[in-house]
């Protein structure tokens, strides 16, 4: 379950990735890597994720309060490395396809807003 999604009250899409980090997807503060249209911040500990979310607030982005409360609740040890989820290869493939569709949808939405 995501900590936040893009919407009326959020400029961020932050969730716990199954590979063992918190991701800020479509991140305006992170340079896209080659082959990607948007940036992805990989945050390896809860503390990194909280500090990253704070940076979004500092530049005027909306970040729901629940991002901070839920990350703290789910990761009481702020400096512990976030553990990967255990998923079957089939479930991981379905998840990756879902993630790719989300990114495509987001990219198309952005282009519409620009035009």
The residue ranges that bind Zn ion (CB under 5 A) are 24, 27, 29, 41
Closest CB 96 distance from Zn ion, rounded Å = 20
Closest to Zn ion by CB, 31 or 97: 31
Closest contact distance (angstroms) between CB of 27 and Zn ion is 3
Q: In the complex with Zn ion, which residue's Cβ is closer, 29 or 78?
A: 29
Neighbours of 113 (CB within 10 A): 7
Residues 6+ apart with CB under 8 A from 22: 3, 14, 15, 16, 42, 43, 46, 48, 49, 71, 82
How many CB atoms are located within 10 Å of the residue 4 CB?
23
> Least distance to Zn ion from the beta carbon of 31, Å?
11
Q: Supply the DSSP string of 49-71, one letter for each residue.
A: HHHHHHHHHHTT----HHHHHHH
For Zn ion, the closer CB: 69 or 93 = 69
Pick between residue 5 and residue 92 the one whose CB is nearest to Zn ion. 5
CB of 89 to Zn ion, least distance (A): 29
């Amino acid at each position: 379950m995501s900590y936040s999604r893009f919407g009326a009250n959020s400029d961020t899409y932050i969730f716990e990735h199954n590979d063992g980090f918190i991701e800020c997807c479509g991140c305006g503060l992170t340079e896209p890597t080659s082959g990607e249209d948007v940036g992805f911040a990989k945050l390896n500990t809860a503390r990194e994720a909280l500090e990253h979310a704070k940076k979004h607030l500092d530049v005027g982005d909306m970040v729901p309060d629940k991002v901070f409360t839920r990350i703290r609740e789910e990761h009481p040890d702020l400096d512990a490395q976030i553990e990967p989820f255990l998923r079957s290869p089939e479930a991981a493939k379905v998840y990756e396809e879902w993630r790719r569709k989300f990114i495509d949808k987001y990219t198309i939405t952005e282009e519409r807003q620009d035009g």
